Chain A
Amino acid sequence: MATYDFLFDGLGLRDWCDAGKTGDAPLSMADLLAKGGAATDTPWWEFPFPSLDALNEACGRIAQSRDMTKAVEDGFLAIKDVLRFVLDPMTQPLSWILEFALLVFEAAPWWVMFPILMAVVYIATKSVRLIGFVTACIAFLAFIDHYGFAMQTLAIIFVCAFLCVLFGVPIGIAMSRSDRMQRMTIPVLDMLQTLPPFVYLIPLIFLFSVTEPKLYGIAIILYAIVPVIRLTDLGIRLVDRDVIEAADSFGMTDRQKLFGVQIPLALPNIMAGVNQTIMMSLAMVVIASLVSAPGLGVLVLRGIRNLELGVGLISGLGIVLLAIVLDRVTKAALDRVNAARKV
């Protein structure tokens, strides 16, 4: 006797339920255990919530929860091939870019890479102190023989953060210009931001071969693109209405207004978004080592898998150093932008 028998009896659905009973459905472990024990009356305080499983006990026609899980899986597998047929060629360039970037970063000898990094830092920040700091950090990583791993991580971050900006800024602009677009995009962004990073690795693993770089590339981009979109939208919406009115009164076209007024005035916010995006790519590139992303994350993973405490801690420290370097450089670049635009 099941708890909800009365419900189906009362509704006169007993015959319908019994007609649907096949009886040969596989039993769950819980069912087996229940069969073994004596059927005792359930005390009233354990009265179950009318969940799928509880209703299924009373009426075989109601699906069990595991059927739903299975349906989702089947559904995904059914569209997988079509999805893959569309997405695979579309995302193939991402694989190429990542492979190329990894190749370049690994092939370049350290005495070429160091001056290039220093030049990039100088162009972005115009700060000699920061160049010293960055050089010291990278040199330390090289000194403890983690240079190669650090460069792999950097290569992936550069590519992914660049693509995030490339796609994120236009999406943010589109959101700022249309309230409907904003209403439609925000739930998606919320979902991307709150889904645990591991969760969206799962469908990606089914879609793409685990050996392909684009698998982790997509995961990183999806995870890290959110802040740059949000802050571009916010930045443009926050542009002083008086200035926009002035731009209108001088007869600016929408294009002139966008490139001459809105984007320049939103730049501090956009840069803050870029900073966040880079930091989030770094967080994700570590997790993505689960799906064959090279770099410092691999060492962290080795530390966890094999309980190699030292390897895990040192590579963790390496990630912290990279994070500090990236954060300082982007923040300094942001400050430089802000200083020129004080109102």
Chain B
Amino acid sequence: MTGNVKIAIRSLYKIFGHDPQAALEHVRAGVSKTDLLERYGHVLGLHDINVEMRESDITVIMGLSGSGKSTLIRHLNRLIEPTSGEVEVDGEDVLAYGEERLRMLRRESMSMVFQKFALLPHRTVAENAGTTLQVRGVRQRDYLKDAGAWLERVGLGGYENHYPHQLSGGMQQRVGIARALTSNSPIMLMDEAFSALDPLIRTDMQDLLLELQKELHKTIVFITHDLDEALKLADRLVILKDGYIVQQGEPQHILLNPNDPYIEDFVSDINRARVLRVRSIMTPLNSGDLPRDAHGEVDINDTLENTIARSGGDTSHSYIVTRDGTPVGVLEMTNLVKALVPRVATEAGARKY
């Protein structure tokens, strides 16, 4: 899971207004977002963002509307220019790119999936899926072949010659994903890709994405406002609020150790048993001694829900945790039950905003 750093964002600021550079000085001097808007008429979009995204990971950026998540993802391919900061892809400074080099990046290294699909209504499904190759000058016969293969892969075989308006929302977004995949780029940017879909179709699409990812190992940056979706997809979770990063890290870790009342609030409604996995709450084995009274073995990536079902609700049980059959830790059911209750925010732990 821990590959090289693919995308690095360092001290990124984005300020909207007529004189962002002057406003940046105020922000650096400690003026708050509301003051900046009231006193100087500038909107603070992103404030000192530092994120590293690893190769072959799904990094989910989560926040409510207005938190700056869509602004952030658009900095990666420079659809929006930052006010200050660095964006590096494969160790190269993207902000130093000229027009031609930037176009190369967008064509070959990154592809994007949009909330509102953004398909071309006058082109067939196959032509839409092939757009990413067509812009590079690939001949129609060739890009239609590639596009057809990817459409098949996302479950749209046989729809090549339909027009987008003839498809349902879920199918249109499959075309959007096929279009991004056809470009064969290592990085996929997904901007609220599933937010416009019905809940059931959304689940299907999430499963599709995970299934594709198992095979393709792309570096995916996924934007969402839905915590369930974030926890389901994320290898790494970044939580944004009002343009700040509130917390980032492994999703299980954030769920168990929220460092902010805002996140505490967020995670309190989650079905923790379904989201948390054994690996997050087990006690690692430090020596070779296995407990004798264990009631069986559980896999390290099992959800707590499965484990509870196995124990039949008996909190006195304990289990040996295995990875690929090798014991790696011990799980006490009492710890499991404790983990199910949201941690109450302590005064000391609660940062003030």
Contact = CB atoms under 8 A, between A and B. Distances in A.
Interface of A: 240, 242-243, 245-246, 248-253, 256, 260-261, 264-265, 267, 340-343
Contacts of B104: 251
Nearest to B166: A342
A66 to B, nearest CB: 52
B111 interface: yes
Contact of A251 (B107, B118, B163, B189): B107
Contacts of A343: 121, 164-165
Interface in B101-147: 102-107, 110-112, 114-116, 118-122, 131-132, 134-136
Given A265-B121, A343-B165, A250 B114 contact: no
A342 B165 contact: yes
A267 B149 CA distance: 31
Contact of A256 (B77, B118, B135): B135
Contact of A253 (B103, B163, B183): B103
Contacts of A340: 122, 163
B216 interface: no
B118 to A, nearest CB: 4
Contacts of A341: 121-122
Interface of B: 77, 79, 102-107, 110-112, 114-116, 118-122, 131-132, 134-136, 163-165, 183, 189
Given A249-B189, A265-B122, 13 more contacts: A242-B114, A242-B118, A243-B119, A246-B112, A246-B114, A246-B118, A249-B79, A249-B106, A249-B112, A251-B105, A252-B135, A260-B120, A343-B164
A250 B120 contact: no
A264 B261 CA distance: 50
A223 B21 CA distance: 48
Which interface residue of B102, B105, B110, B116 has the most chain A CB atoms within 10 A? B116
Contact of A250 (B115, B121, B165, B183): B183
B188 to A, nearest CB: 11
A131 B75 CA distance: 55
7 contacts: A245-B114, A246-B118, A249-B79, A252-B135, A256-B135, A340-B122, A340-B163
Given A242-B114, A245-B79, A342-B165, A250 B135 contact: yes
B106 to A, nearest CB: 3
Which interface residue of B110, B118, B165, B189 has the most chain A CB atoms within 10 A? B118
Contacts of A245: 79, 114, 118
B118 A264 contact: no
A248 B79 CA distance: 7
A157 B280 CA distance: 78
B121 A251 contact: no
B135 to A, nearest CB: 5
Contacts of B165: 342-343
Contacts of A256: 135
